[in-house]
Chains A and B, each alone.
Chain A
Amino acid sequence: MTRSIQSLWVPAAAIESTPDKQRAEFAEIYDQHFDFVLETVRRLGCAVSDREDLVHEVFLRAHTSLGKFDATRAMRPWLFGIAFRVVSEQRRSGRNRFEVAAREWESASERASPESDAIAQDARAKVDLALQRLSVEQREVFVAHELCEVPVSDLVEVLHAPLNTLYSRLRLARAAFADALDDILGRKEEP
């Protein structure tokens, strides 16, 4: 996506108080990773009606703490960490509706997306359904590592668990996911 939102915050006060470089950096992050953040929030299991609020919150926090980001590290694990915290807080607050039907996650516009063919859509829907059968802890580590491709070593700080615990949890999550997928497919279908 080439669209830029740099022009979105151009009031005089913003220009005076926010260095151009920082503004440009954030705009680039926002543009490049908007889809990733949205997909991460969805994968972590929030309801479709909460996604807009959560993505907005993730980027607000990213903007706030951009100065603390270590530029030598990858951006996606950092954003995943923020998204994870936002979704976890939302989950603890009980204000949203997790564990919704996977089909609900797909808005009309998503289904009409030209880049998603029927097979991919079907596979994603089945993966979503399988994810719902995992415990919250298993789902978190599975989504982070298997779908968002965040290294397990980077998850120690995000998930607040020792490395060995995370590997163990991931192993169990993989097994549970495979079982769930088996069950969903009736052990017959393949993508």
Chain B
Amino acid sequence: MTLRGSDVEKYLQHARRVPSAPAELRARVDARMKASLAATASTETPGSRPGAFRVLRSSTLVVGAACLALLCGLLVVGRNSVSPSRVPQCEKPGKRASASSDVANPVDAASFAEPVPAPTPSAPRALGRRPRRDVPRAAPSPSLGEERELLARARASLARGELSDADRTLAQHALRFDRGALAEEREALRVHAAAMGGDLDAAATLLRTFERRFPESVFTPTLRDALNRYRGATTQ
């Protein structure tokens, strides 16, 4: 006798039931959630960010904003298309950091990147800024500094049009920090590098991979837009 239809369904009905979680596992996750959310809350100060940003972790936001700004700048370098009237949407309270905005000009990109803190903790603080908070930030890990440095080199190479250097640097980052804190930014730069090199099929493939790996990335709309612009440029 071969099981089919209703026989399989009998088993599935049992399997669909969701049993109660083991008490000890639930207690452990409860405790970890408590610690995680308290830590998240303690790194935020009231009113320190627009309302729509309050659930985003600060580190993600800062790194994401910086890299989005740099990507915008690179798009300008690569395409030489300027839209001076644009204002970075991330600066508007209540607006999420959406890359639905068009490519910004270099001035916009610079102003967009302005709130990003200096990469070294010892950098002098600008006058008139808010006083240091009571809760100290965790010191950045040494590997994060190395990641930043590698990606900065890759961006600089892209800006100069030295694609092979950029590819090498990105590959180096991937080798050393495959799942590093800035892996998302690296993969975004890989898409951009492929597009700049004229290999739009490879860029599209990389973009699909990027979307699967980082489905909620703020870079995705910008990358899609950039790819479309490159496609438009090649068909003209």
* Among candidates A34, A110, A181, residue contacting B3 with C-beta atoms closer than 8 Å: A181
Give complex CA distance A89, B52 in Å. 26
Interface of B (DSSP majority class): helix
For B4, the chain A residues whose CB sits under 8 A away are 178
* Known A1-B20, A8-B33, A34-B21; contact A177-B8, beta-carbon cutoff 8 A: yes
Total of A-B residue pairs, C-beta within 8 Å: 142
Say whether A24 faces chain B, with CB atoms less than 8 Å apart: no
18 new A-B contacts, CB < 8 A, other than A120-B17, A181-B11, are: A8-B34, A11-B38, A13-B38, A17-B54, A30-B33, A35-B21, A63-B55, A107-B25, A109-B22, A110-B19, A116-B19, A124-B15, A127-B15, A130-B11, A160-B211, A160-B212, A177-B8, A182-B3
CB-based nearest B residue for A117: B14
Interface residue count for B (Cβ, 8 Å)?
A: 50
B21 with A14: CB separation less than 8 A: no
Give complex CA distance A64, B20 in Å. 25
What residues of chain B have their CB less than 8 Å away from a CB belonging to chain A? 1-4, 7-8, 10-12, 14-26, 28-30, 32-34, 36-38, 40-42, 44-46, 52, 54-57, 135, 179, 208, 211-213, 215-216
Query: What are 26 A-to-B residue pairs whose CB atoms are below 8 Å?
Result: A8-B30, A8-B37, A9-B34, A13-B41, A13-B42, A14-B37, A14-B42, A17-B41, A17-B54, A35-B20, A36-B18, A38-B25, A56-B29, A56-B33, A59-B29, A109-B22, A109-B24, A113-B22, A116-B19, A123-B10, A124-B17, A130-B11, A178-B3, A187-B1, A188-B1, A190-B3
Give complex CA distance A98, B96 in Å. 36
What residues of chain A have their CB less than 8 Å away from a CB belonging to chain B? 1, 5, 8-9, 11, 13-14, 16-18, 22, 30, 34-36, 38-39, 43, 51-52, 55-56, 59-60, 63-68, 85, 89, 92-93, 107, 109-110, 113, 115-116, 119-120, 123-124, 126-128, 130, 146-147, 149, 160, 174, 177-178, 181-182, 185, 187-188, 190-191
